[in-house]
Amino acid sequence: MENCLDFEKLMEMEGRYRANLINKITGYKTANLIGTRSGSGLENLAVFNSVVHIGANPPYLGFILRPTSVERHTYENIQETGYYTINQITARIHGQAHMTSAKFQREISEFESCGLKPYYVKGFEAPFVADSAIKIGLSFEEEHRIKCNDTRLIIGKVIHLILPEGAVGADGDLDLESLDTVAIGGLDTYYKGTKLGRYAFARPGEDLRKLS
């Protein structure tokens, strides 16, 4: 028997229970650490599971920011400096990455408290995560207030992309599995990815063609 839950039933649920459930129903999510620095130079790092591709030409990425009803250091720093980094979480650092979600005081660097090394690129003020395989430096582009729940979509332009030597294939492909990157379920579970197949561009009337 299926378990059918309507909107009223969902809204009757205890808040944490509903958050656990709803955060998992869209499946595996991207696992990233966003690195920033305040105007006065304080480093900050936090885990985000809502990074999305906005477009490739030119390259834009977005993420969802929770309501600013409490201090949001990542957001405040982006507002102050206009720059931030997005760093893919690898299996090796997923525990430290999760710890960055704790409510540290503004003066405390999550890099230091969670045991993650910052990495700087000359001329770019936001800190990258040294142990992340895919490091992306962005400049803030625009934000959109989402009226129905007071969250924000923050959009940035990719101005630095740092990848391990030899990671990019001849056609721009990245093998995420060999880069050890992980996915997040909800707000508390980390998964390793297993490739099922890579396929050629699909066209009506043509057979499915597996590339690797």
Stretch of 5-13, 71-79, 133-141, 167-175 lying at the interface with ligand FMN (CB under 6 A): 71-79
Q: State the minimum distance, in angstroms, from the CB of residue 115 to ligand FMN.
A: 16
* Cβ-contact 182, 191 below 8 angstroms: yes
Q: State the minimum distance, in angstroms, from the CB of residue 200 to ligand FMN.
A: 33
Rounded Cα gap, residues 106 and 96, in angstroms: 18
Q: What is the DSSP letter of 92?
A: G
Task: Find, among 38, 76, 55, the residue nearest to 152 by Cα.
Answer: 76
Q: State the minimum distance, in angstroms, from the CB of residue 107 to ligand FMN.
A: 12
Closer by beta carbon to ligand FMN, 66 or else 157: 66
Closer by beta carbon to ligand FMN, 18 or else 72: 72
Q: Which residues pair with 85 in a beta bridge?
A: 35, 137
Q: Of 20, 38, 50, 139, which one interacts with ligand FMN (CB under 6 A)?
A: 50
Stretch of 63-71, 87-95, 122-130, 194-202 lying at the interface with ligand FMN (CB under 6 A): 63-71
Q: Of 79, 101, 109, 113, which one interacts with ligand FMN (CB under 6 A)?
A: 101
Task: Find, among 181, 99, 183, 91, the residue nearest to 134 by Cα.
Answer: 181
Task: Find, among 74, 52, 65, the residue nearest to 151 by Cα.
Answer: 65
**Does 37 participate in binding ligand FMN (rule CB under 6 A)?**
no
Q: Which residues pair with 45 in a beta bridge?
A: 35
Task: Find, among 6, 81, 71, the residue nearest to 36 by Cα.
Answer: 81
Q: State the minimum distance, in angstroms, from the CB of residue 144 to ligand FMN.
A: 14
Residue in the block written with tokens 């063609």: 209
**Does 184 participate in binding ligand FMN (rule CB under 6 A)?**
yes
Q: Binding residues for ligand FMN, how many (CB under 6 A)?
A: 19
**Does 113 participate in binding ligand FMN (rule CB under 6 A)?**
no
